[in-house]
Amino acid sequence: MSQRFPVASVEDVPVGTGAEIVAGGRIIALFNVDGTFHAVDGVCAHAGGPVGKGELNGCIVTCPWHGWQYDVSTGRHCLTDNIAQQSFPAEVEDGMVYVELPDS
Ligand code: FES
């Protein structure tokens, strides 16, 4: 089962930026890549850094703590397939971004 959460208005996360949000008791990193929103686990797999506060270049975010990079469209680490942030479906409806999270 999963639940859908309204997490931000479209204007809150301009193109080329990200945001750290809390939904369903989880920290989520939300990104706007050319108008398409992507959501991944906001807690970095390396040491818990704030992925949502990282710099976004195209679809690649760089964790601000130690520089691990992830593709926000898949959650995958850029250097290895063995590491990935969990990714979640995100969609826009009536100017609001919704993220679907599995029940915990
Ligand atoms: S905590 Fe993200 S790179 Fe270290």
In this predicted model, what pLDDT tens digit does every residue of 31-67 receive, in sequence order? Answer: 999 999 999 999 999 999 999 999 999 999 999 999 9
What's the length of the chain? Answer: 104
Ligand 1 centroid to residue 69 C-alpha, Å: 9
C-alpha 32 chain-centroid distance = 9
Tell me the CATH number at 25.
2.102.10.10
Whether residue 12 has pLDDT greater than 80: yes
- CA atoms of 40 and 95, how far apart (whole Å): 20
* 22 Cβ inside 6 Å of ligand 1: no
What's the pLDDT tens digit per position in 58-95? 999 999 999 999 999 999 999 999 999 999 999 999 99
- 12-21 mean pLDDT: 98
Domain total in the chain: 1
- pTM as predicted: 0.96
Closest ligand 1 atom to Cα of 48: 1
pLDDT at 29: 98
pLDDT at 47: 98
* 20 Cβ inside 6 Å of ligand 1: no
- CA atoms of 59 and 38, how far apart (whole Å): 9
Q: How many CA atoms lie within 13 A of 60 on its CB side?
A: 8
pLDDT at 6: 98
- CA atoms of 100 and 89, how far apart (whole Å): 5
The answer to whether residues 103 and 3 touch, using CB atoms and an 8 Å cutoff, is yes
3-state DSSP assignment of residue 85: coil
Domain that holds residue 19: 2-102
